[in-house]
Structure 1
Amino acid sequence: MLTFTQKKPPNPNAAVVSTLSLTAEERTRSRHRLQMEDGQVVFLRLPRGTVLQDGDILVDETTGSLVRITAKPEPVLTVVAKTTIDLLKAAYHLGNRHVPVEITSAYLRLSPDPVLQVMLQQLGVEIKEEISPFQPEAGAYGHHHSH
């Protein structure tokens, strides 16, 4: 059984034995039992507070085997706006609610939440329900907390 205790930065040339697709929430867990797509059970035993990003490499503690993390597509709300200021206002209001948000110059992305969806609609932005990889900002202090 593989037990991953080290994280390395993304390296497209790493000799990985497999990939492990995780949701945004799963990528915040530093100690967890997971099942890979082939059915193999693996354990994460990473330093507390470790947040995995798409492309990160995990190292098994005994064999040194490498596994690449991929951001698993999951249900999300993607927010787009007609103007930059409207997108910034939406980001401001989401930030006031301390929810994980993926921020780009073209869109915001968050986990589905009917209350936040109504708030965003009232702000006049467009919301699309999608299945997509979700890569929220780590936050000002590098930690990600689900509420």
Structure 2
Amino acid sequence: MLTVNKHMPQGGGLAAVLVRRAATLELDWDMRQKSRFAAIDSTGRELAVVLARGSVLRGGDVLVAEDGSLVAVRAAPQAVLRVTAATPLGLLRAAYHLGNRHIPVEVTPTHLHLEHDPVLHDMLLRLGAQVALVDAPFEPEAGAYGGGHRHGHDASFAEDQALAQSVYALHDHGHAHGHSHDHSHGHEHGHEHSHDHDHDHKGCCGHGHGHDHPHG
């Protein structure tokens, strides 16, 4: 399996002829949000894609394998809802309500695209929009603060979450151990204090009635 570990957004200035000659890799939106995955390119090569965490691939990007070969990324057609409206205001209204739900949306001058969702389909119809299920490449808007839209199913997110949980578990174990250790020392300290007090009491009174008390 060939490792691919370099990402060049939109070709990164490579000569167009080099990109045209490169093997291609068609990926849907769900896969293009992942920074680690296995895939097979147009030449049949098995690829292990290992990119920086948080990487998001777009159609037109180029990947570089460890042997220096290039792989051109293509946005694969997938099931999406195409939203249109009778007026620009109607389309704007649909985009507003979708934006309130923080879902990935592709915006064009004539229509919107979003991943197929029956609930959103019904909502858009109630808003007066026209909705059709089509197969098309899906290129949603990037986040306003950079990067792509993130969901829990993203692979890098899952890896980070697993790492965080492991660190938390170690911290929690260490805290519990430390607490037990401190508690036992505190108990010993209290025992020694009581023992010393009994001896002082004996010395003061000149007799040993302190020994009649059970030590428990």
The one-letter code sitting in structure 1 at the alignment partner of 2:57 is L
Q: Deviations over 1:8-44 (max 9, x none)?
A: 1334322543100000111111111123355432111
- Work out whether residues 76 and 129 of structure 1, in 8 Å CA contact, stay in contact via their aligned partners in 2: yes
Could you tell me which of 93, 103, 127 is aligned with 2:131? Answer: 127
Distance in 1, Cα, partners of 2:18 & 2:48: 20
Q: TM-score, normalised by structure 2?
A: 0.64
> Percent of pairs identical after alignment?
46
Q: How does 1:18-29 map to 2 (within 5 A)?
A: 18-29=23-34
Moved over 6 A (4+): none
Q: Normalized per residue, which structure has more helix?
A: 2
Letter of the structure 1 residue corresponding to residue 7 of structure 2: K
Structure richer in strand, relative to its length: 1
Q: Name which one, 1 or 2, has greater alpha-carbon Rg.
A: 2
What's the C-alpha RMSD, in Å, of the aligned pairs? 1.5
TM-score by length of 1: 0.92
- Where does the alignment leave 5 or more consecutive residues of structure 1 unmatched? none
1:44 matched residue in structure 2: 49
The aligned length equals 146
1:1-147 alignment, distance < 5 Å = 1-11=1-11, 12-15=16-19, 16-61=21-66, 63-141=67-145, 142-146=147-151
Q: Give the residue type in structure 2 aligned to 1:6.
A: K
Q: Which has the higher contact order (CA 8 A, sep 6+)?
A: 1
